[in-house]
Chains A and B, each alone.
Chain A
Protein backbone atom coordinates (compact mmCIF):
# COMPACT_ATOMS: atom_id res chain seq x y z
CA UNK A 1 0.00 0.00 0.00
CA UNK A 2 2.76 2.46 0.84
CA UNK A 3 3.98 2.39 -2.74
CA UNK A 4 0.58 3.30 -4.19
CA UNK A 5 0.48 7.05 -4.76
CA UNK A 6 -2.20 8.95 -2.87
CA UNK A 7 -2.79 11.06 -5.94
CA UNK A 8 -2.05 10.12 -9.51
CA UNK A 9 -2.68 12.59 -12.29
CA UNK A 10 -2.14 11.69 -15.95
CA UNK A 11 -2.44 13.95 -18.94
CA UNK A 12 -5.05 16.14 -17.27
CA UNK A 13 -6.31 19.24 -19.03
CA UNK A 14 -8.97 21.69 -18.01
CA UNK A 15 -10.38 24.29 -20.37
CA UNK A 16 -12.72 27.15 -19.56
CA UNK A 17 -13.99 28.09 -22.99
CA UNK A 18 -10.90 28.91 -25.04
CA UNK A 19 -8.66 29.27 -21.97
CA UNK A 20 -6.56 26.27 -21.00
CA UNK A 21 -6.28 26.48 -17.20
CA UNK A 22 -4.39 23.19 -17.11
CA UNK A 23 -2.57 21.67 -20.04
CA UNK A 24 -1.56 18.01 -20.06
CA UNK A 25 -0.55 17.81 -16.39
CA UNK A 26 0.92 14.60 -14.96
CA UNK A 27 2.35 13.89 -11.49
CA UNK A 28 2.01 11.64 -8.45
CA UNK A 29 1.77 12.48 -4.75
CA UNK A 30 3.23 9.89 -2.38
CA UNK A 31 1.52 8.89 0.83
CA UNK A 32 2.52 11.04 3.81
CA UNK A 33 4.45 14.13 2.86
CA UNK A 34 4.15 17.89 2.78
CA UNK A 35 3.99 19.21 -0.75
CA UNK A 36 4.37 22.79 -1.86
CA UNK A 37 2.18 23.60 -4.85
CA UNK A 38 3.78 26.79 -6.07
CA UNK A 39 3.14 29.11 -8.95
CA UNK A 40 2.00 32.59 -9.88
CA UNK A 41 -1.52 33.94 -9.72
CA UNK A 42 -3.61 32.28 -12.39
CA UNK A 43 -1.07 29.53 -12.99
CA UNK A 44 -3.73 26.88 -12.35
CA UNK A 45 -3.12 25.90 -8.70
CA UNK A 46 -6.69 26.30 -7.47
CA UNK A 47 -8.13 24.66 -10.58
CA UNK A 48 -5.83 21.69 -10.05
CA UNK A 49 -6.96 21.28 -6.44
CA UNK A 50 -10.59 21.63 -7.45
CA UNK A 51 -10.13 18.81 -9.94
CA UNK A 52 -8.48 16.62 -7.30
CA UNK A 53 -11.41 17.19 -4.94
CA UNK A 54 -14.15 16.62 -7.51
CA UNK A 55 -15.30 20.24 -7.42
CA UNK A 56 -14.48 20.72 -11.09
CA UNK A 57 -14.60 18.29 -13.98
CA UNK A 58 -11.48 17.61 -16.06
CA UNK A 59 -11.68 18.19 -19.82
CA UNK A 60 -9.21 15.36 -20.50
CA UNK A 61 -6.95 12.92 -18.67
CA UNK A 62 -7.33 10.65 -15.66
CA UNK A 63 -7.23 11.50 -11.96
CA UNK A 64 -6.90 8.93 -9.20
CA UNK A 65 -7.21 9.98 -5.57
CA UNK A 66 -6.72 7.22 -2.99
CA UNK A 67 -6.98 4.80 -5.88
CA UNK A 68 -10.24 6.01 -7.43
CA UNK A 69 -11.82 8.80 -9.43
CA UNK A 70 -12.71 11.53 -6.90
CA UNK A 71 -15.70 12.87 -8.85
CA UNK A 72 -18.91 12.15 -6.88
CA UNK A 73 -16.99 9.55 -4.89
CA UNK A 74 -18.06 9.78 -1.28
CA UNK A 75 -15.64 7.07 -0.08
CA UNK A 76 -12.71 9.09 -1.42
CA UNK A 77 -13.91 12.61 -0.66
CA UNK A 78 -14.62 12.04 3.03
CA UNK A 79 -10.88 11.38 3.37
CA UNK A 80 -10.03 14.62 1.62
CA UNK A 81 -10.12 18.11 3.09
CA UNK A 82 -9.77 21.19 0.90
CA UNK A 83 -9.33 24.56 2.59
CA UNK A 84 -9.92 27.12 -0.09
CA UNK A 85 -9.16 30.80 0.27
CA UNK A 86 -12.31 31.63 -1.70
CA UNK A 87 -14.56 29.24 0.27
CA UNK A 88 -18.08 30.60 0.62
CA UNK A 89 -20.20 30.06 3.74
CA UNK A 90 -23.99 30.34 4.15
CA UNK A 91 -24.98 33.81 5.43
CA UNK A 92 -26.69 32.39 8.50
CA UNK A 93 -23.71 30.26 9.59
CA UNK A 94 -21.83 31.10 12.73
CA UNK A 95 -18.31 29.85 13.42
CA UNK A 96 -19.67 27.02 15.55
CA UNK A 97 -21.90 25.83 12.67
CA UNK A 98 -18.82 25.45 10.47
CA UNK A 99 -17.09 23.49 13.23
CA UNK A 100 -20.20 21.32 13.62
CA UNK A 101 -20.15 20.64 9.87
CA UNK A 102 -16.51 19.56 10.14
CA UNK A 103 -17.33 17.24 13.04
CA UNK A 104 -20.27 15.73 11.16
CA UNK A 105 -18.56 15.28 7.81
CA UNK A 106 -14.94 14.26 8.46
CA UNK A 107 -14.55 10.77 9.98
CA UNK A 108 -11.11 11.59 11.45
CA UNK A 109 -12.21 14.94 12.92
CA UNK A 110 -10.59 15.63 16.32
CA UNK A 111 -12.90 17.84 18.36
CA UNK A 112 -10.37 18.49 21.13
CA UNK A 113 -7.80 19.57 18.57
CA UNK A 114 -10.37 21.84 16.91
CA UNK A 115 -11.17 23.45 20.27
CA UNK A 116 -7.53 24.09 21.04
CA UNK A 117 -7.05 25.67 17.59
CA UNK A 118 -10.11 27.87 18.13
CA UNK A 119 -8.56 29.03 21.42
CA UNK A 120 -5.13 29.58 19.85
CA UNK A 121 -6.53 31.65 17.00
CA UNK A 122 -8.98 33.40 19.37
CA UNK A 123 -11.88 32.58 17.07
CA UNK A 124 -15.27 33.90 18.24
CA UNK A 125 -17.48 30.78 17.91
CA UNK A 126 -20.73 32.71 18.27
CA UNK A 127 -19.99 35.20 15.50
CA UNK A 128 -21.50 35.02 12.02
CA UNK A 129 -18.90 33.86 9.52
CA UNK A 130 -19.73 36.75 7.19
CA UNK A 131 -18.81 39.18 9.99
CA UNK A 132 -15.31 37.72 10.41
CA UNK A 133 -12.27 39.68 9.32
CA UNK A 134 -10.16 38.28 6.47
CA UNK A 135 -7.62 36.96 8.94
CA UNK A 136 -10.27 35.31 11.14
CA UNK A 137 -11.80 33.70 8.06
CA UNK A 138 -8.42 32.24 7.17
CA UNK A 139 -7.97 31.03 10.75
CA UNK A 140 -11.34 29.27 10.56
CA UNK A 141 -10.31 27.53 7.33
CA UNK A 142 -7.00 26.49 8.83
CA UNK A 143 -8.79 25.13 11.92
CA UNK A 144 -11.14 23.01 9.81
CA UNK A 145 -8.29 21.80 7.61
CA UNK A 146 -6.08 20.75 10.53
CA UNK A 147 -8.80 19.29 12.77
CA UNK A 148 -10.28 17.25 9.90
CA UNK A 149 -7.09 15.13 9.99
CA UNK A 150 -8.00 14.04 6.47
CA UNK A 151 -5.45 11.63 4.95
CA UNK A 152 -5.21 14.11 2.06
CA UNK A 153 -5.43 17.79 3.01
CA UNK A 154 -5.20 20.77 0.66
CA UNK A 155 -4.52 24.29 1.89
CA UNK A 156 -5.08 26.85 -0.84
CA UNK A 157 -3.54 30.18 0.22
CA UNK A 158 -4.65 29.49 3.78
CA UNK A 159 -3.06 32.52 5.37
CA UNK A 160 -4.48 35.53 3.57
CA UNK A 161 -4.84 38.27 6.15
CA UNK A 162 -3.30 36.17 8.93
CA UNK A 163 -0.78 38.05 11.02
CA UNK A 164 2.77 36.77 11.49
CA UNK A 165 1.98 35.28 14.91
CA UNK A 166 -1.00 33.33 13.56
CA UNK A 167 0.95 32.14 10.53
CA UNK A 168 3.71 30.84 12.79
CA UNK A 169 1.04 29.18 14.92
CA UNK A 170 -0.30 27.47 11.82
CA UNK A 171 3.14 26.20 10.78
CA UNK A 172 3.92 24.98 14.30
CA UNK A 173 0.59 23.23 14.77
CA UNK A 174 0.76 21.68 11.30
CA UNK A 175 4.24 20.28 11.88
CA UNK A 176 3.47 19.00 15.37
CA UNK A 177 0.23 17.34 14.28
CA UNK A 178 1.81 15.99 11.13
CA UNK A 179 4.50 14.31 13.22
CA UNK A 180 1.86 12.54 15.31
CA UNK A 181 -0.63 11.87 12.53
CA UNK A 182 1.27 11.60 9.25
CA UNK A 183 -0.78 12.45 6.19
CA UNK A 184 -0.41 14.02 2.79
CA UNK A 185 -0.59 17.80 2.92
CA UNK A 186 -0.55 20.08 -0.10
CA UNK A 187 0.24 23.72 0.62
CA UNK A 188 -0.42 26.20 -2.11
CA UNK A 189 1.10 29.58 -1.37
CA UNK A 190 2.91 32.70 -2.47
CA UNK A 191 4.87 33.00 0.78
CA UNK A 192 7.44 30.50 -0.42
CA UNK A 193 10.29 31.35 1.91
CA UNK A 194 8.01 31.15 4.94
CA UNK A 195 7.03 27.58 4.17
CA UNK A 196 10.39 26.66 2.66
CA UNK A 197 11.41 24.64 5.71
CA UNK A 198 8.08 22.79 5.87
CA UNK A 199 7.94 21.62 2.30
CA UNK A 200 9.39 18.23 1.46
CA UNK A 201 8.53 18.28 -2.19
CA UNK A 202 7.94 21.06 -4.70
CA UNK A 203 5.45 21.11 -7.53
CA UNK A 204 5.82 24.26 -9.58
CA UNK A 205 3.07 25.13 -11.99
CA UNK A 206 3.27 27.81 -14.67
CA UNK A 207 0.58 28.64 -17.19
CA UNK A 208 -1.22 25.37 -16.57
CA UNK A 209 1.86 23.16 -16.89
CA UNK A 210 3.99 21.44 -14.26
CA UNK A 211 7.49 22.87 -14.73
CA UNK A 212 9.14 21.41 -11.63
CA UNK A 213 8.45 18.23 -9.63
CA UNK A 214 11.35 17.64 -7.24
CA UNK A 215 12.23 16.90 -3.64
CA UNK A 216 12.92 20.19 -1.86
CA UNK A 217 16.28 19.01 -0.47
CA UNK A 218 17.54 17.97 -3.89
CA UNK A 219 16.40 21.27 -5.27
CA UNK A 220 18.17 23.39 -2.66
CA UNK A 221 21.58 21.96 -3.52
CA UNK A 222 20.91 22.09 -7.24
CA UNK A 223 20.63 25.80 -7.74
CA UNK A 224 23.41 28.23 -6.79
CA UNK A 225 24.56 31.70 -7.67
CA UNK A 226 28.08 31.97 -9.03
CA UNK A 227 29.66 35.41 -8.62
CA UNK A 228 33.02 36.42 -10.07
CA UNK A 229 34.80 37.67 -13.19
CA UNK A 230 32.83 36.77 -16.31
CA UNK A 231 35.43 34.39 -17.90
CA UNK A 232 35.77 32.38 -14.67
CA UNK A 233 32.00 32.21 -14.21
CA UNK A 234 31.60 31.07 -17.81
CA UNK A 235 34.20 28.35 -17.35
CA UNK A 236 32.68 27.03 -14.12
CA UNK A 237 29.09 27.00 -15.33
CA UNK A 238 29.69 25.49 -18.74
CA UNK A 239 27.98 22.23 -17.83
CA UNK A 240 25.05 23.78 -16.00
CA UNK A 241 21.68 25.15 -16.89
CA UNK A 242 21.77 28.92 -16.61
CA UNK A 243 18.56 30.41 -15.23
CA UNK A 244 19.60 34.01 -14.84
CA UNK A 245 22.59 36.30 -15.28
CA UNK A 246 23.30 39.81 -14.09
CA UNK A 247 26.23 42.18 -14.26
CA UNK A 248 27.40 43.90 -11.06
CA UNK A 249 30.15 46.29 -12.17
CA UNK A 250 33.12 44.13 -13.06
CA UNK A 251 31.47 41.02 -11.64
CA UNK A 252 29.07 38.59 -13.22
CA UNK A 253 26.48 36.78 -11.14
CA UNK A 254 24.90 33.74 -12.72
CA UNK A 255 22.09 31.66 -11.21
CA UNK A 256 22.57 28.13 -12.44
CA UNK A 257 21.02 24.74 -11.94
CA UNK A 258 23.57 21.93 -11.82
CA UNK A 259 26.84 21.02 -10.13
CA UNK A 260 29.55 23.66 -9.83
CA UNK A 261 32.85 22.31 -8.39
CA UNK A 262 33.40 24.18 -5.13
CA UNK A 263 37.19 23.70 -5.09
CA UNK A 264 37.67 25.08 -8.58
CA UNK A 265 35.43 28.00 -7.73
CA UNK A 266 37.51 28.90 -4.68
CA UNK A 267 40.71 28.76 -6.73
CA UNK A 268 39.25 31.06 -9.39
CA UNK A 269 38.08 33.55 -6.75
CA UNK A 270 34.46 32.85 -7.57
CA UNK A 271 31.87 32.95 -4.86
CA UNK A 272 29.23 30.21 -4.62
CA UNK A 273 25.98 30.84 -2.74
CA UNK A 274 22.92 28.66 -2.27
CA UNK A 275 19.67 30.08 -3.53
CA UNK A 276 16.51 30.29 -1.45
CA UNK A 277 13.50 28.30 -2.54
CA UNK A 278 11.69 31.52 -3.38
CA UNK A 279 14.55 32.79 -5.58
CA UNK A 280 14.70 29.44 -7.27
CA UNK A 281 10.99 29.44 -8.03
CA UNK A 282 11.15 33.01 -9.32
CA UNK A 283 14.10 32.22 -11.60
CA UNK A 284 12.64 29.01 -12.99
CA UNK A 285 9.22 30.56 -13.50
CA UNK A 286 10.69 33.63 -15.21
CA UNK A 287 12.68 31.49 -17.59
CA UNK A 288 9.75 29.21 -18.43
CA UNK A 289 7.64 32.28 -19.08
CA UNK A 290 10.29 33.73 -21.39
CA UNK A 291 10.78 30.55 -23.41
Chain B
Protein backbone atom coordinates (compact mmCIF):
# COMPACT_ATOMS: atom_id res chain seq x y z
CA UNK B 1 0.00 0.00 0.00
CA UNK B 2 2.91 2.36 0.77
CA UNK B 3 4.06 1.83 -2.76
CA UNK B 4 0.65 2.73 -4.18
CA UNK B 5 0.75 6.00 -2.19
CA UNK B 6 4.28 6.60 -3.49
CA UNK B 7 2.97 6.26 -7.05
CA UNK B 8 0.07 8.60 -6.27
CA UNK B 9 2.60 11.14 -4.97
CA UNK B 10 4.70 10.68 -8.08
CA UNK B 11 1.67 11.35 -10.30
CA UNK B 12 0.73 14.41 -8.29
CA UNK B 13 4.28 15.78 -8.47
CA UNK B 14 4.32 15.99 -12.24
CA UNK B 15 0.73 17.14 -12.46
CA UNK B 16 0.61 20.18 -10.23
CA UNK B 17 -0.13 22.30 -13.28
CA UNK B 18 -2.78 19.80 -14.28
CA UNK B 19 -4.54 20.23 -10.96
CA UNK B 20 -4.39 24.02 -10.96
CA UNK B 21 -5.30 24.72 -14.58
CA UNK B 22 -8.93 23.56 -14.41
CA UNK B 23 -9.41 25.94 -11.49
CA UNK B 24 -7.82 28.81 -13.39
CA UNK B 25 -10.03 28.13 -16.42
CA UNK B 26 -13.06 27.84 -14.18
CA UNK B 27 -12.12 31.13 -12.50
CA UNK B 28 -11.77 32.91 -15.84
CA UNK B 29 -15.09 31.50 -17.08
CA UNK B 30 -16.72 32.58 -13.84
CA UNK B 31 -15.28 36.10 -13.98
CA UNK B 32 -16.34 36.50 -17.62
CA UNK B 33 -19.89 35.45 -16.76
CA UNK B 34 -20.02 37.80 -13.79
CA UNK B 35 -19.06 40.75 -16.00
CA UNK B 36 -21.54 39.64 -18.66
CA UNK B 37 -24.41 39.21 -16.22
CA UNK B 38 -23.57 42.47 -14.51
CA UNK B 39 -23.81 44.34 -17.81
CA UNK B 40 -27.13 42.72 -18.75
CA UNK B 41 -28.99 43.90 -15.70
CA UNK B 42 -32.49 42.46 -15.45
CA UNK B 43 -33.05 41.84 -19.16
CA UNK B 44 -32.41 38.08 -18.92
CA UNK B 45 -35.18 35.61 -18.18
CA UNK B 46 -35.32 33.61 -15.01
CA UNK B 47 -32.07 32.15 -13.63
CA UNK B 48 -30.14 31.10 -16.76
CA UNK B 49 -27.43 28.44 -16.42
CA UNK B 50 -24.11 29.53 -17.94
CA UNK B 51 -22.59 26.17 -18.79
CA UNK B 52 -19.17 27.42 -17.69
CA UNK B 53 -18.90 24.43 -15.41
CA UNK B 54 -18.25 22.20 -18.45
CA UNK B 55 -14.58 23.24 -18.44
CA UNK B 56 -13.97 21.24 -15.25
CA UNK B 57 -15.54 18.13 -16.74
CA UNK B 58 -13.67 18.37 -20.02
CA UNK B 59 -10.31 18.86 -18.30
CA UNK B 60 -11.06 15.79 -16.15
CA UNK B 61 -11.36 13.71 -19.34
CA UNK B 62 -8.20 15.12 -20.88
CA UNK B 63 -6.14 14.64 -17.75
CA UNK B 64 -7.40 11.08 -17.32
CA UNK B 65 -6.22 10.22 -20.82
CA UNK B 66 -2.87 11.99 -20.45
CA UNK B 67 -2.20 10.45 -17.03
CA UNK B 68 -2.67 6.97 -18.40
CA UNK B 69 -0.86 7.41 -21.71
CA UNK B 70 2.17 9.24 -20.27
CA UNK B 71 2.50 8.07 -16.68
CA UNK B 72 2.10 4.37 -17.35
CA UNK B 73 5.15 3.87 -19.62
CA UNK B 74 7.23 5.84 -17.13
CA UNK B 75 5.92 3.93 -14.10
CA UNK B 76 6.54 0.59 -15.80
CA UNK B 77 10.10 1.74 -16.49
CA UNK B 78 10.46 2.53 -12.79
CA UNK B 79 9.70 -1.10 -11.85
CA UNK B 80 6.06 -0.47 -10.92
CA UNK B 81 3.58 -3.30 -11.56
CA UNK B 82 0.44 -2.73 -13.59
CA UNK B 83 -1.68 -3.58 -10.55
CA UNK B 84 0.09 -0.95 -8.42
CA UNK B 85 -0.21 1.63 -11.17
CA UNK B 86 -3.91 0.87 -11.69
CA UNK B 87 -4.62 1.20 -7.96
CA UNK B 88 -2.65 4.45 -7.80
CA UNK B 89 -4.35 6.09 -10.76
CA UNK B 90 -7.73 4.99 -9.32
CA UNK B 91 -6.90 6.48 -5.93
CA UNK B 92 -5.59 9.66 -7.52
CA UNK B 93 -8.71 10.09 -9.65
CA UNK B 94 -10.98 9.41 -6.68
CA UNK B 95 -9.17 11.99 -4.53
CA UNK B 96 -9.30 14.54 -7.34
CA UNK B 97 -13.03 13.89 -7.79
CA UNK B 98 -13.76 14.29 -4.07
CA UNK B 99 -11.84 17.57 -3.89
CA UNK B 100 -13.64 19.02 -6.90
CA UNK B 101 -17.06 17.74 -5.75
CA UNK B 102 -16.63 19.35 -2.31
CA UNK B 103 -15.45 22.58 -3.91
CA UNK B 104 -18.42 22.67 -6.30
CA UNK B 105 -20.94 21.90 -3.54
CA UNK B 106 -19.50 24.73 -1.44
CA UNK B 107 -19.55 27.18 -4.37
CA UNK B 108 -23.11 26.14 -5.26
CA UNK B 109 -24.16 26.80 -1.65
CA UNK B 110 -22.55 30.25 -1.76
CA UNK B 111 -24.25 30.91 -5.09
CA UNK B 112 -27.64 29.94 -3.67
CA UNK B 113 -27.09 31.97 -0.48
CA UNK B 114 -26.06 35.13 -2.37
CA UNK B 115 -28.95 34.98 -4.82
CA UNK B 116 -26.73 33.99 -7.73
CA UNK B 117 -23.85 36.31 -6.77
CA UNK B 118 -26.37 39.13 -6.52
CA UNK B 119 -27.07 38.77 -10.24
CA UNK B 120 -29.43 35.78 -10.29
CA UNK B 121 -26.63 33.97 -12.17
CA UNK B 122 -26.38 30.19 -12.03
CA UNK B 123 -22.83 29.17 -12.70
CA UNK B 124 -22.29 26.24 -10.35
CA UNK B 125 -25.90 25.11 -9.88
CA UNK B 126 -27.51 22.81 -12.43
CA UNK B 127 -31.20 21.84 -12.79
CA UNK B 128 -32.99 20.93 -9.57
CA UNK B 129 -29.69 20.10 -7.87
CA UNK B 130 -30.15 22.66 -5.09
CA UNK B 131 -33.30 20.90 -3.91
CA UNK B 132 -31.21 17.90 -2.78
CA UNK B 133 -29.22 17.50 0.44
CA UNK B 134 -25.45 17.79 0.57
CA UNK B 135 -24.64 14.04 0.23
CA UNK B 136 -26.77 13.78 -2.92
CA UNK B 137 -25.23 16.99 -4.26
CA UNK B 138 -21.73 15.56 -3.74
CA UNK B 139 -22.72 12.50 -5.77
CA UNK B 140 -24.37 14.55 -8.49
CA UNK B 141 -21.26 16.67 -8.97
CA UNK B 142 -18.77 13.88 -8.32
CA UNK B 143 -20.06 10.88 -10.29
CA UNK B 144 -20.22 12.67 -13.67
CA UNK B 145 -16.73 14.02 -12.97
CA UNK B 146 -15.53 10.48 -12.20
CA UNK B 147 -17.21 9.29 -15.40
CA UNK B 148 -15.39 11.90 -17.48
CA UNK B 149 -12.07 10.96 -15.86
CA UNK B 150 -12.73 7.30 -16.58
CA UNK B 151 -13.62 7.92 -20.21
CA UNK B 152 -10.18 9.55 -20.46
CA UNK B 153 -8.48 6.78 -18.50
CA UNK B 154 -10.17 4.07 -20.60
CA UNK B 155 -9.04 5.78 -23.81
CA UNK B 156 -5.53 6.07 -22.35
CA UNK B 157 -5.54 2.40 -21.35
CA UNK B 158 -6.70 1.34 -24.82
CA UNK B 159 -3.85 3.47 -26.19
CA UNK B 160 -1.10 1.94 -24.03
CA UNK B 161 -2.36 -1.56 -24.90
CA UNK B 162 -3.31 -1.26 -28.59
CA UNK B 163 -1.84 2.11 -29.60
CA UNK B 164 -3.47 4.55 -32.03
CA UNK B 165 -5.31 1.86 -34.01
CA UNK B 166 -6.97 0.69 -30.78
CA UNK B 167 -8.16 4.20 -29.92
CA UNK B 168 -9.59 4.75 -33.40
CA UNK B 169 -11.15 1.29 -33.30
CA UNK B 170 -12.76 1.96 -29.92
CA UNK B 171 -14.14 5.37 -30.97
CA UNK B 172 -15.46 3.88 -34.22
CA UNK B 173 -17.11 1.03 -32.32
CA UNK B 174 -18.84 3.45 -29.94
CA UNK B 175 -20.08 5.59 -32.83
CA UNK B 176 -21.37 2.57 -34.72
CA UNK B 177 -23.25 1.30 -31.65
CA UNK B 178 -24.75 4.75 -30.92
CA UNK B 179 -25.65 5.25 -34.59
CA UNK B 180 -27.33 1.86 -34.88
CA UNK B 181 -29.22 2.44 -31.62
CA UNK B 182 -30.47 5.83 -32.86
CA UNK B 183 -31.46 4.29 -36.19
CA UNK B 184 -33.32 1.49 -34.44
CA UNK B 185 -35.20 3.93 -32.18
CA UNK B 186 -36.11 6.09 -35.18
CA UNK B 187 -37.24 3.08 -37.22
CA UNK B 188 -39.47 1.77 -34.45
CA UNK B 189 -40.72 5.29 -33.66
CA UNK B 190 -39.72 5.04 -30.01
CA UNK B 191 -38.22 8.50 -29.50
CA UNK B 192 -41.20 9.70 -27.40
CA UNK B 193 -40.76 6.64 -25.17
CA UNK B 194 -37.06 7.43 -24.77
CA UNK B 195 -37.96 11.02 -23.88
CA UNK B 196 -40.51 9.82 -21.31
CA UNK B 197 -37.93 7.51 -19.78
CA UNK B 198 -35.54 10.42 -19.26
CA UNK B 199 -38.31 12.59 -17.79
CA UNK B 200 -39.27 9.77 -15.41
CA UNK B 201 -35.76 9.63 -13.98
CA UNK B 202 -34.97 11.69 -10.91
CA UNK B 203 -32.05 14.11 -11.21
CA UNK B 204 -30.20 11.93 -8.72
CA UNK B 205 -30.44 8.77 -10.83
CA UNK B 206 -29.70 10.75 -14.00
CA UNK B 207 -26.59 12.48 -12.63
CA UNK B 208 -25.36 9.87 -10.13
CA UNK B 209 -27.15 6.54 -10.56
CA UNK B 210 -26.75 5.68 -14.23
CA UNK B 211 -23.32 7.35 -14.60
CA UNK B 212 -21.97 5.21 -11.73
CA UNK B 213 -22.95 2.12 -13.71
CA UNK B 214 -20.90 3.47 -16.63
CA UNK B 215 -18.03 4.19 -14.21
CA UNK B 216 -17.97 0.54 -13.13
CA UNK B 217 -18.02 -0.68 -16.75
CA UNK B 218 -15.22 1.70 -17.80
CA UNK B 219 -13.13 0.73 -14.78
CA UNK B 220 -13.43 -2.93 -15.79
CA UNK B 221 -12.57 -2.07 -19.40
CA UNK B 222 -9.56 0.03 -18.37
CA UNK B 223 -8.14 -2.72 -16.18
CA UNK B 224 -8.69 -5.35 -18.89
CA UNK B 225 -6.64 -3.22 -21.28
CA UNK B 226 -4.00 -2.25 -18.72
CA UNK B 227 -3.25 -5.66 -17.25
CA UNK B 228 -1.55 -6.88 -20.43
CA UNK B 229 -0.17 -3.54 -21.62
CA UNK B 230 3.53 -3.23 -22.40
CA UNK B 231 5.76 -0.19 -22.36
Contacts and interface: CB of A to CB of B under 8 A. Distances in A.
B81 A73 contact: yes
Given A87-B74, A105-B7, A78 B79 contact: yes
B228 to A, nearest CB: 7
B32 interface: no
Secondary structure at the B interface, as helix, strand, loop or mixed, is: helix
Interface in A40-99: 50, 53-57, 72-74, 77-78, 80-82, 84, 87-94, 97
A53 B13 CA distance: 25
A228 interface: no
Given A55-B231, A89-B74, A92-B18, A101 B3 contact: no
A77 B14 contact: no
A56 B76 CA distance: 10
Contact of A57 (B74, B78, B228): B228
B228 A105 contact: no
Given A80-B79, A97-B13, A106-B79, 19 more contacts: A56-B230, A72-B82, A74-B81, A78-B3, A84-B231, A88-B73, A88-B77, A90-B66, A91-B66, A91-B70, A92-B14, A92-B17, A92-B18, A93-B74, A100-B13, A101-B13, A101-B74, A104-B9, A144-B78
B196 to A, nearest CB: 47
Given A50-B230, A57-B228, A93-B14, A105 B70 contact: no
21 contacts: A50-B231, A54-B81, A55-B231, A72-B81, A74-B81, A77-B79, A77-B80, A82-B79, A88-B73, A88-B77, A88-B231, A89-B74, A90-B74, A91-B66, A92-B15, A92-B17, A100-B9, A100-B13, A105-B6, A105-B78, A150-B79
A104 B14 CA distance: 14
A102 interface: yes
Q: Return the 6 tightest CB-CB contacts between A and B, nearest first.
A: A104-B6, A90-B70, A77-B79, A93-B14, A88-B73, A101-B10
A105 B81 contact: no
Contacts of B17: 92
B230 to A, nearest CB: 5
B47 interface: no
B230 A90 contact: no
Contacts of A57: 228, 230
Contacts of B10: 97, 100-101, 104-105
B71 interface: yes
Interface string B10-43: 1001110110000000000000000000000000
Contacts of A92: 14-15, 17-18, 70
Contacts of A90: 14, 66, 70-71, 74
Interface in B57-116: 66, 70-71, 73-74, 76-84
A25 to B, nearest CB: 18
Given A97-B13, A105-B3, A88 B79 contact: no
Nearest to B231: A55
B162 to A, nearest CB: 14
A102 B75 CA distance: 10
A100 B74 CA distance: 13
